[in-house]
Amino acid sequence: MIVSGDWAGKRYAVLGLARSGAATVRALLAGGASVVAWDSEAAKRAPFLPGTGRGTSEAGGGGGATGGSLVAAPLHHPADGPPPRAGEELMVAPLDDLNGFDALVVSPGVPLNTHPIAAKARDTGVPVIGDIELFAQGRASLPAHKVVGITGTNGKSTTTALVHHILRTAGIPSLMGGNIGLPILGQEPLPAGGVYVLELSSYQIDLTATLDCDVAVLLNITPDHLDRYDGFEGYAASKARLFAMQSPEHEAIIGIGDAASAAIARGLSARGEHLTKIAPGVCMDQSRWPSLQGPHNAQNALAAIAVAKALGVGEADIDRALESFAGLPHRMQRIDVVNGVAYVDDSKATNPESTAPALAAFPRTHWIVGGKPKGDELDACAPHFGNIVRAYTIGEAGPAFAKILGSHMPVEESGTLDAAVRAAAARARAGDTVLLSPACASFDQFRDYEARGAAFRTAVEGLA
Q: Quick one: average pLDDT of 437-458?
A: 96
Beta bridge partners of 328: 331
pLDDT at 224: 66
Q: Give 175-206 as a DSSP string.
A: EEEESSSS-GGGSPPPPTTEEEEEE--HHHHH
Tell me which of 87 and 234 has the higher pLDDT. 234
Contact (CB, 8 A) for 146 and 195:
yes
Distances (CA, A) of 453 to 97, 157, 285, 343, 416: 45, 18, 28, 11, 13
pLDDT in tens, 239-280: 999 999 999 999 999 999 999 999 999 999 999 999 999 998
pLDDT at 452: 98
Report the distance separating Cα 135 and Cα 157, nearest Å. 19
- Confidence class for position 57, pLDDT limits 50, 70, 90: very low
Contact (CB, 8 A) for 170 and 313:
yes
Report the distance separating Cα 28 and Cα 105, nearest Å. 11
In Å, how far from its chain's centre is CA 59?
A: 33
Q: Quick one: average pLDDT of 68-74?
A: 32
Q: In 362-464, which residue ranges form alpha helices assigned H by DSSP?
A: 398-405, 417-427, 449-461
Virtual CA dihedral for 203, 274, 176, 13, nearest 10 degrees? -40
- Confidence class for position 93, pLDDT limits 50, 70, 90: confident
- Write a three-state SS string for 208-235: CCCCCCCEEEECCCCCCCHHHCCHHHHH
Report the distance separating Cα 346 and Cα 453, nearest Å. 8
- Confidence class for position 54, pLDDT limits 50, 70, 90: very low
pLDDT at 109: 81
**365: helix, strand or coil:** strand
pLDDT in tens, 11-33: 999 999 999 999 999 999 999 99
Neighbouring CB atoms inside 10 A of 146's CB total: 21
pLDDT at 321: 98
Q: Quick one: average pLDDT of 65-69?
A: 29
Phi, psi of 14 (to 5 degrees): -125, 120
Whole-prediction pTM:
0.84
Report the distance separating Cα 321 and Cα 324, nearest Å. 5
pLDDT in tens, 116-137: 999 999 999 999 999 999 999 9
Report the distance separating Cα 25 and Cα 18, nearest Å. 11
Beta bridge partners of 15: 38, 106
Domains of the chain: 5-129 (3.40.50.720), 138-324 (3.40.1190.10), 333-461 (3.90.190.20)
Report the distance separating Cα 392 and Cα 438, nearest Å. 10
pLDDT at 230: 82
pLDDT in tens, 330-376: 999 999 999 999 999 999 999 898 899 999 999 999 999 999 998 89
**148: helix, strand or coil:** strand
